[in-house]
């Protein structure tokens, strides 16, 4: 009798603790991660993401732009890394290209507000922001903008930094934890000051950028860590030289973004994968929609998932003049002589494209 009673107490304790455990576990287990159930159990460091190089540099008829569509459309179409060049312009963080008089894509605050809004309506996606901190702004100044956009609480803070590619949590864990935004700073990162602004080059190595040769080699070009264990990023956008400065080679964007053929993303991925035994984590491209979704197909092949290209945006016709476009400032410089203006603006400047 006594032992039966004890057994009942023990049983009810088990069921009570079962309930308690259930309540403290995540309320929801992500079933789809970045569009695919197969990705939920994969480490962030073992997934390949397509990134928009100079995501904010949007427009037509402007030699300083790298994208046709704004960040919201980029994200809708599947871009999952947003690369930004941030300038400190009169104490405001502005998204400019090389200089704010050449191209000004608005404030970082406005841009991040769009990102937040997209993340709020897409709750099972992990995305990354890569900041080129060209004016060496302190992390605390970025934090102010992230907080006002409401992105600080969505940000992932690593338990330690750097992390090897194999040490990152799974996409499912990041989504369940509500920390789905991974932000890297190319310089000044200090996780003791702002835990979610992560140092890029101790965590990621990069191939060369500003490439004008369709070979797109896979050599380690920039790193501040152990490239054999870090995640890696390939800069797969082709430039051409105009008046001594590299500018995006949009005429070749279809070939550059393609799955196969000379200078294609697919070929560079194959080269890098055979060279290092693992595929790139991040692939930065210009005019991502050229190729009709080929860049996302390349990523899907790496990730072992099935890509559906049916709803991707179509390339804009950059040859039609449109001065009402948001990227028009360059057109208005020097009374509508944009090429000359670009050359003049870039003389002696470091063109970071």
Ligand X SMILES: *[C@@H]1O[C@H](CO)[C@@H](O)[C@H](O)[C@H]1NC(C)=O
CB of 261 to ligand X, least distance (A): 13
Q: In the chain, which ranges are continuous DSSP H helix?
A: 2-24, 71-77, 108-121, 139-149, 171-176, 200-203, 253-256, 265-276, 294-303, 329-332, 338-346
The piece of 46-54, 116-124, 192-200, 257-265 that touches ligand X (CB under 6 A) is 46-54
State which of residues 32, 254, 271, 309 lies at the interface with ligand X (CB under 6 A). Answer: 254
281 binds ligand X (CB under 6 A): yes
CB of 283 to ligand X, least distance (A): 10
48 binds ligand X (CB under 6 A): yes
State which of residues 251, 260, 275, 308 lies at the interface with ligand X (CB under 6 A). Answer: 251
Give residue 76's Cα distance to chain centre.
Answer: 13
Q: Which two tokens stand for residue 47?
A: 């997934």
What string marks each residue from 286 to 315 as x (binds ligand X by CB under 6 A) or -? ----x-----------x-------------
Question: Cα separation of 175 and 346, whole Å?
Answer: 42
Which positions from 175 through 234 interact with ligand X, judged by CB under 6 A? 208, 219, 221
State which of residues 1, 121, 320, 348 lies at the interface with ligand X (CB under 6 A). Answer: 320
CB of 62 to ligand X, least distance (A): 13
CB-count exposure of residue 326 (10 Å: 0-12, 13-18, 19+) = middle
CB of 24 to ligand X, least distance (A): 32
DSSP, collapsed to helix, strand or coil, labels residue 95 as: strand
Q: Which residue is nearest to ligand X (CB)?
A: 208
The piece of 61-69, 86-94, 319-327, 338-346 that touches ligand X (CB under 6 A) is 319-327
Q: Which two tokens stand for residue 326?
A: 């948001």
Q: What is the DSSP code (8-state) at residue 45? A: G
**173-177 contacts, C-beta under 8 A, 24 or more apart:** 174/44, 174/126, 175/30, 175/33, 175/40, 175/123, 175/124, 175/125, 175/126, 176/26, 176/28, 176/29, 176/30, 177/26
- By rule CB under 6 A, what count of residues binds ligand X? 18
- DSSP β-bridge partners for residue 52: 82, 285
Q: Active-site residues: which are they? A: 53, 97
The piece of 5-13, 18-26, 110-118, 322-330 that touches ligand X (CB under 6 A) is 322-330
- DSSP β-bridge partners for residue 220: none
State which of residues 36, 39, 46, 75 lies at the interface with ligand X (CB under 6 A). Answer: 46
Give residue 229's Cα distance to chain centre.
Answer: 20
322 binds ligand X (CB under 6 A): yes
Give whichever of 99 and 273 is closer to ligand X, judged by the CB atom.
Answer: 273
Which residues here bind ligand X, judged by CB under 6 A? Answer: 46-48, 208, 219, 221, 251, 254, 273, 278-279, 281, 290, 302, 320, 322, 324-325
């Amino acid at each position: 009798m006594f032992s039966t009673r004890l057994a009942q107490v023990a049983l009810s304790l088990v069921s009570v603790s079962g309930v308690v455990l259930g309540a403290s576990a995540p309320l929801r287990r992500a079933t789809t991660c970045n569009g695919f159930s197969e990705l939920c159990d994969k480490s962030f460091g073992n997934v390949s993401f397509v990134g928009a190089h100079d995501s904010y540099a949007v427009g037509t008829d402007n030699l300083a732009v790298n994208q046709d569509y704004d960040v919201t459309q980029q994200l809708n179409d599947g871009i999952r890394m947003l690369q930004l060049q941030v300038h400190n312009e009169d104490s405001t963080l502005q998204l400019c290209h090389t200089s704010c008089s050449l191209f000004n894509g608005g404030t970082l605050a406005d841009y991040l507000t769009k990102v937040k809004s997209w993340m709020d309506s897409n709750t099972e996606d992990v995305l990354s922001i890569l900041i080129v901190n060209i004016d060496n702004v302190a992390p605390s100044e970025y934090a102010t903008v992230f907080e006002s956009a409401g992105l600080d609480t969505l940000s992932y803070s690593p338990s330690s930094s750097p992390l090897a590619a194999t040490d990152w949590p799974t996409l499912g864990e990041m989504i369940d934890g509500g920390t789905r935004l991974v932000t890297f700073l190319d310089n000044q990162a200090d996780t003791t000051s702002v835990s979610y602004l992560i140092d890029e080059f101790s965590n990621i190595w990069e191939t060369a950028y500003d490439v004008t040769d369709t070979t797109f080699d896979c050599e380690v070009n920039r790193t501040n860590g152990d490239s054999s264990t870090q995640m890696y990023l390939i800069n797969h956008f082709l430039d051409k030289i105009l008046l001594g400065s590299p500018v995006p080679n949009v005429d070749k964007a279809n070939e550059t973004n393609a799955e196969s053929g000379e200078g294609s993303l697919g070929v560079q991925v194959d080269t890098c994968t055979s060279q290092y035994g693992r595929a790139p984590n991040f692939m930065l491209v210009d005019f991502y929609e050229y190729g009709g979704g080929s860049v996302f197909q390349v990523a899907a092949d790496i990730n072992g998932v099935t890509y559906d290209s049916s709803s991707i945006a179509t390339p804009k016709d950059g040859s039609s003049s449109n001065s009402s476009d948001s990227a028009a400032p360059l057109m208005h410089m020097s009374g509508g002589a944009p090429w000359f203006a670009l050359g003049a603006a870039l003389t002696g400047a470091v063109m970071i494209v």
